[in-house]
Amino acid sequence: MSKTISDIAVKTINGEDKQLKEYTGKVLLIVNVASYCGYTSQYEGLEKLNQKYGEAGLRILGFPCNDFGAQEPGSNEEIVQFCTSKYSKIVISH
């Protein structure tokens, strides 16, 4: 049987299980993020997209990753602090 994205479960940065089927009918933008990456400015663009299209159903799912040059070395709490101190509506999955 083929699986779809709706069959995938992820763990939020707060340790909660989340089924992607909860986003059925929404447009998902899934992004690999890192607080110390040279592209960290992408958060600003993601925030603007969220503000512009969030009401229309866009959901941006950011997944922190430390696998590329150790650019996300912080704990989950530090990542949340970084994001929420700079961006108002960031929801992070891990």
The CA-based angle 18-33-86, given to 5 degrees, is 95
pLDDT recorded at residue 93:
47
Instruction: Identify which of 62, 26, 35 has the alpha carbon closest to the alpha carbon of residue 46.
Output: 62
| Protein fold of 5-86 | Glutaredoxin (3.40.30)
Q: What is the pLDDT of residues 8-50, one digit of tens each?
A: 999 888 888 999 999 999 999 998 887 777 767 778 888 889 8
**Known catalytic membership, residue 65:** no
**Which of 37, 58, 65, 80 is labelled catalytic?**
37
Q: What is the pLDDT of residues 71-93, one digit of tens each?
A: 877 888 888 888 777 766 555 44
Domains of the chain: which residue ranges? 5-86
Stronger pLDDT, 89 or 63, i.e. the higher one: 63
